[in-house]
Amino acid sequence: MGEVFLYAFIDTLNVLPFLLIMNFLIELIEYRSQGLKADKMLKGGGAPLLGTAVGILPQCGFSVVATELYSKRRIALGTLLAVYLATSDEALPIMLSSYESGGPAKLLPVLIIKLCFALIVGYAAFGIERLSRRNTRISGEHAEKEGITEHNREDDGCAHEHTSEEVAENAHDDDDCTSVHIHGCHNHALEETVTLSENATGKQRAAYIWNVFLKHPIIHSLTVIAYILAVNIVFGIIIYYVGERRLADFIGSTGYLQPLLAGLVGFIPNCAASVVITELYLVGALNLGGTIAGLCMSAGIGYAVLVKQNRPVKDTVVVILSMYVLSVALGLAVTAVSPHISVLNL
């Protein structure tokens, strides 16, 4: 049992540097440019491609970073899906090191299919989002024009006069909006973001840097890391008592239903999920379709962070269900056609 806590601690510790660096950069970007440049870069046309390239790297920390960015709406849904679908967690190093089982050769179809599918889904979602925003904007402008026309008709050319109560209420609303500096999904008090005077002392400058650039990223990162550690321990204990061998035997005995069950295993926010799926694939107990479904679904600890950080909850549910449906559908399709594709050597 002690190794469960050790592995959970090590897995969590591996994510911490990514999380800290990402939060520091977000804080700096938002302070310097209020996030406008970051939005253009992270939400541009190349974002799904970048997300796919980053996601394929053997490190679940990137899925955590992508989840944090998505919860702050710094990246679009298409980019998040591309990262998740491309992420394989521990699969790549395990396959590359398994020469006796033909791991490097078996890795090639998995890698190609995952990359292509991540790009297709990422850009499809990206295009749908843009089209939806465009239609919403056009509808809003049309409704606003109709509202102005109707308002002018009712007023019959007379200017609308604001009462003193309305002016006071609007002024109060403006005060509320300017008293808080909003950074993505979190708020900072205005006193933490005031500018320094040229005659500020060294102590004042140090306090300013700590409050603006360090305190919030550190607190936020440690909060998320504590949550990740708790999730890793819980799922580590579950897998310890269930047993990886039992889990592997159960999945391997399901035949053409493998993608359905492998997708559920991939949803486990722990690196053990990708390890089990990969080992089954290498020994021939899991077919290519099941492996694809499980590894496409396997976004590591990213799901745990998504549940904790992302709001509204409805959006989180949509993301998870979309991932499962897409991963299983791809797995079933690969299972259906793979016997006819000799290059896959199945």
Average pLDDT over residues 14-27: 72
As beta bridge partners, residue 180 has 189
* Lowest mean pLDDT, pick from 6-10, 196-200, 229-233: 196-200
Q: In the predicted model, is pLDDT for residue 70 greater than 80?
A: yes
Structure confidence at residue 133 (pLDDT): 81
Structure confidence at residue 54 (pLDDT): 85
**How far is Cα 56 from Cα 74, in angstroms, rounded to an integer?**
20
pLDDT in tens, 129-143: 888 888 887 777 677
Residue 272 vs residue 345, higher pLDDT = 272
Q: How far is CA 240 from CA 3, 264, 272, 276, 305, in A?
A: 10, 17, 10, 13, 22
Q: Mean pLDDT for the chain?
A: 75
Q: In the predicted model, is pLDDT for residue 82 greater than 80?
A: yes
Q: Is the dihedral of CA 185, 188, 194, 196 positive or negative?
A: negative
Residue 257 vs residue 297, higher pLDDT = 297
Let me know: does 256 contact 290? Beta carbons within 8 Å. no
Residue 44 vs residue 185, higher pLDDT = 44
**Residue 230: how many other CB atoms lie within 10 Å:** 13
Structure confidence at residue 120 (pLDDT): 97
**How far is Cα 205 from Cα 248, in angstroms, rounded to an integer?**
57
Let me know: does 306 contact 337? Beta carbons within 8 Å. no
**How far is Cα 69 from Cα 84, in angstroms, rounded to an integer?**
13
**How far is Cα 76 from Cα 136, in angstroms, rounded to an integer?**
16
Per residue, the 3-state secondary structure of 295-328, as one string, reads HHHCCCCHHHHHHHHCCCHHHHHHHHHHHHHHHH
pLDDT in tens, 92-123: 877 887 777 777 888 899 999 999 999 999 99
